[in-house]
């Protein structure tokens, strides 16, 4: 007991010293802390409506509890299209994981460009689509893939083929969603890896060059190990959203003919929550989704940390 007290006092003394010396930096953190508290932790109060028969007039606190308490969760699991939505969601997210290395490869290739003007031009061209809204991106996708007068179908006809209704084919929906997303974000996603490559010590690269390593060997033995912690962290974060697909882009590309492949959890939540007003049920689905994502995140972090010694915690 006596040995721990001095340590605690020294710890608090160190904290007070840091606060006194760097109080300006902590003041700058206040807006961010307030923002997170209000917009990230504040809404968690409303999670309780997943276990209640929510009535807007009564509010979250005044609405009666469900009996049984997990009624909405049981309803969702027993929903006839439950496994179809899980399959559709995973088909998109796992597809996205398959092309996860492409921004990394793009960053490695861009890092090898020695012509500064060309490098900046490529960066500008690949970054630009990220700043387009999803409405514009989906409009471009629908225009390019249009059966009647889309450029892609026009090229197919010019080559002697028949017009293909791409957006109406359920099997093509995941590819359309994922590759259009890659086109929009590959430049932006590569920024993190380009920054990590820039932080690699030039002395390591020079030492490898002196030892006779060529460019491919430098990439393999210096650059990739140098950005491996960044890759590990981004992969873990991506795994944490394995059951999360934004509803807006899906909704914009969705139609009655591809519904069997485009009906995912987020669009179902939008339909039952916003369109049908079943707030308790929609909240329960979102809570179920988030809990599963957290479990996947923890498992991914455990595995990646074992393999690479790098993790979120």
Please indicate, yes or no, if residue 232 is contained in any of the structural domains: yes
- Last residue within a domain, chosen from 41, 69, 97: 69
What is the structure's pLDDT at 4?
52
Say if residue 64 is in the same domain as residue 80.
no
Q: What is the pLDDT of residues 145-154, one digit of tens each?
A: 999 899 999 9
SS3 65: strand
Q: Tell me which DSSP letter residue 274 carries.
A: I
Both 33 and 94 in one domain: the answer is no
Residue 313 lies in a domain: no
Structure tokens that stand for 196 in this block = 């990590």
- Decide if pLDDT at 6 tops 80: no
Do 30 and 128 belong together in one domain?
A: no
Q: What is the structure's pLDDT at 309?
A: 85
Domain co-membership, 247 together with 267 = yes
Mean pLDDT of 104-122: 92
Q: Tell whether 8 is covered by a domain.
A: yes
Clarify whether residues 207 and 149 are in a common domain.
yes
Residue 235 domain flag: yes
Long-range contacts of 227-233 (CB under 8 A, 24+ apart): 227/104, 227/107, 227/193, 227/196, 227/197, 227/200, 228/308, 228/310, 229/196, 229/308, 229/310, 230/192, 230/193, 230/196, 231/104, 231/193, 232/304, 232/308, 232/310, 232/311, 233/310, 233/311, 233/312
Task: Inform me whether the pLDDT recorded for 269 exceeds 80.
Answer: yes
One domain, residues 132 and 32: no
Structure tokens at 232: 């590990």
Flag whether 26 is in a domain: yes
Provide the domain count of the chain.
Answer: 2
DSSP state of 52: B
Q: Are residues 114 and 236 in the same domain?
A: yes
Same domain, 269 and 146: yes
Instruction: Please tell me whether residues 19 and 75 are part of one structural domain.
Output: no
CATH code, domain carrying 115: 1.10.3720.10
Work out the average pLDDT over 236-263.
90
Q: Which residues, listed in sequence order, are joined to residue 65 by a DSSP beta bridge?
A: 52
Alpha helices in the chain (DSSP H): 4-21, 23-36, 59-62, 71-77, 82-98, 101-111, 116-127, 134-145, 151-158, 173-198, 202-210, 215-218, 224-239, 247-253, 259-262, 265-270, 279-308
For residue 152, the SS3 value is helix
pTM score, whole prediction: 0.86
pLDDT at 216: 92
33-57, pLDDT tens digit by residue?
A: 999 999 989 988 889 999 999 988 8
> Which domain does 30 fall in, by range?
1-69
pLDDT at 31 over 50: yes
1 — pLDDT class (breaks 50, 70, 90): very low
The number of angstroms, rounded, from the C-alpha of 146 to the middle of its chain's C-alpha atoms is: 28
* The pair of three-digit structure tokens given for residue 128, joined into one six-digit string: 């630009």
281 and 250, same structural domain? yes
CA dihedral 154, 159, 161, 164 (to 10 degrees): -30
Q: Which of 48, 69, 90 is the last residue of a domain?
A: 69
| pLDDT recorded at residue 265 | 93
Model confidence band, residue 312 (pLDDT cutoffs 50, 70, 90)? confident
174-187 burial: b if 16+ Cβ within 10 Å, else e: bebbbebbbebbbb
Whether residue 222 is found in the same domain as residue 84: yes
Report, as an integer, the average pLDDT of 244-256. 90
Q: Which residue, of 24, 42, 69, is where some domain finishes?
A: 69
Residues 116 and 214 in one domain: yes
239 within some domain:
yes
DSSP 176: H
- Mean pLDDT over 197-205 rounds to 90
């Amino acid at each position: 007991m006596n040995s721990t007290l001095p340590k605690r006092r020294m710890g608090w003394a160190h904290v007070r010293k840091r606060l006194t010396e760097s109080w300006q930096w902590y003041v700058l953190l206040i807006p961010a802390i307030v923002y997170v508290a209000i917009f990230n932790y504040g809404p968690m109060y409303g999670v309780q409506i997943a276990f209640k028969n929510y009535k807007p007039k009564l509010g979250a606190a005044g609405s009666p509890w469900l009996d049984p308490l997990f009624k909405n969760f049981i309803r969702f699991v027993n929903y006839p299209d439950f496994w179809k939505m899980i399959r559709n969601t995973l088909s998109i997210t796992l597809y996205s994981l398959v092309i996860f290395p492409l921004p990394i490869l793009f960053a490695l290739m861009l890092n090898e460009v020695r012509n500064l003007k060309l490098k900046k031009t490529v960066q500008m061209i690949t970054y630009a689509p990220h700043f387009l809204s999803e409405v514009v991106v989906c409009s471009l996708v629908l225009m390019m893939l249009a059966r009647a007068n889309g450029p892609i179908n026009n090229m197919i006809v010019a080559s002697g083929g028949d017009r293909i209704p791409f957006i109406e084919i359920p099997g093509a929906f995941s590819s359309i969603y994922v590759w259009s997303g890659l086109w929009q974000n590959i430049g932006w996603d590569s920024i993190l890896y380009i920054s990590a490559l820039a932080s690699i010590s030039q002395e390591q690269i020079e030492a490898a060059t002196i030892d006779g390593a060529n460019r491919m060997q430098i990439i393999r033995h210096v650059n990739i190990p140098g950005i491996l912690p960044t890759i590990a962290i981004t992969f873990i974060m991506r795994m944490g959203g394995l059951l999360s697909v934004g509803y807006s882009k899906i909704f914009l590309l969705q139609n009655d003919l591809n519904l069997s492949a485009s009906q995912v959890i987020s669009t179902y939540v939008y339909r039952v929550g916003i369109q049908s007003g079943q707030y308790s049920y929609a909240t329960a689905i979102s809570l179920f989704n988030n809990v599963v994502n957290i479990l996947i995140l923890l498992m991914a972090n455990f595995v990646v940390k074992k393999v690479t010694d790098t993790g979120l915690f």
